[in-house]
Amino acid sequence: MKIVLGLTFAAALSAAAFAADQSADWAYPVTPPPGQLDNATQQSVPGSSAQYTQAQIDDPFNPPDWFANEHPPMPQIVAHGGPKPAGRACAQCHLPSGDGHPESAGLAGLPANYIVRQMQSFKRGERNNPRAGVMIAMAQVLSDDDVKAAAEYFAKLKPTAGYNTVKETDTVPKTYVGAGGMRFKSEGSETEPIGERIINVPKDETEAKLRDPHSGFIDYVPSGSIARGQALASGDGGKIVPCSLCHGPDLKGMGEVPPITGRTATYVYRQLNDMKNDWRKGTGVNFMKPAVARLSDSDMIALAAYLESRDP
């Protein structure tokens, strides 16, 4: 009888843990296994004379560079990666522009020392949300010199204003998670209530799949989020420390504390939720703990929406 009870209790516990993780599954898309990639048809994007096949576009050690004239020369680690198979080229997911995709992160303009510290955190497993696996594997095989070169490259770049757009709405198109872990509109014109979620889709699905850095993303957020987020960011009537105290008067970063405006709300939400749930830990995160401990799920969505509505 004891054993049966024990088992039931364990089953109930793991069911509860499962429910908690699943509650924000929209923020942690699971990348489906890639299909057969076309290695014959030459693809191009508007404004570039370069051509690549889809197999070349998705090559983790030689991702496309559609606009080589728009960024400084990329160090080897950014353009072609390090030790195989884990040490992929940073530009594959974060793009040569550093603006990134919502299921990874924008790196453009982050302080170099902040980037180096994050790589150390991944390496130590202090950042271990369900999307961090590739970064943890990578951080374990890269040399300090490679990490430094990548950090200096991305720190020099300016995030592109308007690349990430936030829109308030009550209903969203039905979507599914597809290639590269991105969310795409399902066929047809069906919609569903947004609920307490952020739904991120590319502005142009074809361009996103081609990793065109000129084509950004839209985060749909629940109506009223931006104004609520602004109130929270300025301290919610004295209940939390204003974000500007550490992130700078315009929230564009201060010293090694990272800039938080103009970034995709999906990523920002994921970080706040991670810090709240100990999926992201460490000395730097301890400064954030008192703030995130007070935030509800819809507060975190609202903050992420407000921050995205501001220019990077």
Residues that bind ligand HEC (CB under 6 A): 77, 88, 90, 92-94, 103-105, 107, 110, 115, 117-118, 127, 129, 131-132, 134-135, 138, 142, 150, 233, 240-241, 243, 245-247, 257-258, 260, 268, 270-272, 282, 284-285, 287-288, 291, 303
Shortest separation between residue 304's beta carbon and ligand HEC, angstroms: 8
Q: Which is nearer to ligand HEC, 138 or 201 (CB)?
A: 138
Query: Residue with the closest Cβ to ligand HEC?
Result: 284
Q: Which is nearer to ligand HEC, 173 or 236 (CB)?
A: 236
**Cα R_g (the chain), whole angstroms:** 20
- Phi-psi bin for 110: left (phi > 0), alpha (psi -120 to 50), beta? beta
Q: Which is nearer to ligand HEC, 173 or 282 (CB)?
A: 282
Asked if residue 232 lies in contact with residue 306, where contact means CB atoms within 8 angstroms, the answer is yes
What is the dihedral sign for C-alpha 201, 203, 209, 212?
A: negative
d(CA 208, CA 68): 18
Q: Which is nearer to ligand HEC, 55 or 241 (CB)?
A: 241
Shortest separation between residue 222's beta carbon and ligand HEC, angstroms: 17
Q: Which is nearer to ligand HEC, 194 or 240 (CB)?
A: 240
Q: Shortest CA distance to 280 belongs to which of 300, 255, 263, 252?
A: 300
Residues 6+ apart with CB under 8 A from 129: 28, 270, 274, 279, 280
Asked if residue 38 lies in contact with residue 53, where contact means CB atoms within 8 angstroms, the answer is yes
What is the dihedral sign for C-alpha 266, 268, 272, 275?
A: positive
Shortest separation between residue 195's beta carbon and ligand HEC, angstroms: 21
Q: Which is nearer to ligand HEC, 103 or 172 (CB)?
A: 103
Shortest separation between residue 9's beta carbon and ligand HEC, angstroms: 32
Shortest separation between residue 171's beta carbon and ligand HEC, angstroms: 27
How far is C-alpha 83 from the geometric centre of its chain's CA atoms?
Answer: 24
d(CA 101, CA 81): 18
Before 85, cis peptide (omega within 30)? Answer: yes
Shortest separation between residue 230's beta carbon and ligand HEC, angstroms: 11
d(CA 23, CA 297): 10
Q: Which is nearer to ligand HEC, 65 or 103 (CB)?
A: 103
**Tokens matching residue 157:** 């770049």
Residues 6+ apart with CB under 8 A from 207: 45, 46, 214, 215
Q: Shortest CA distance to 134 belongs to which of 119, 115, 149, 145?
A: 119
Q: Which is nearer to ligand HEC, 105 or 172 (CB)?
A: 105
Shortest separation between residue 134's beta carbon and ligand HEC, angstroms: 4
Shortest separation between residue 62's beta carbon and ligand HEC, angstroms: 12
Q: Which is nearer to ligand HEC, 116 or 201 (CB)?
A: 116
Shortest separation between residue 39's beta carbon and ligand HEC, angstroms: 20
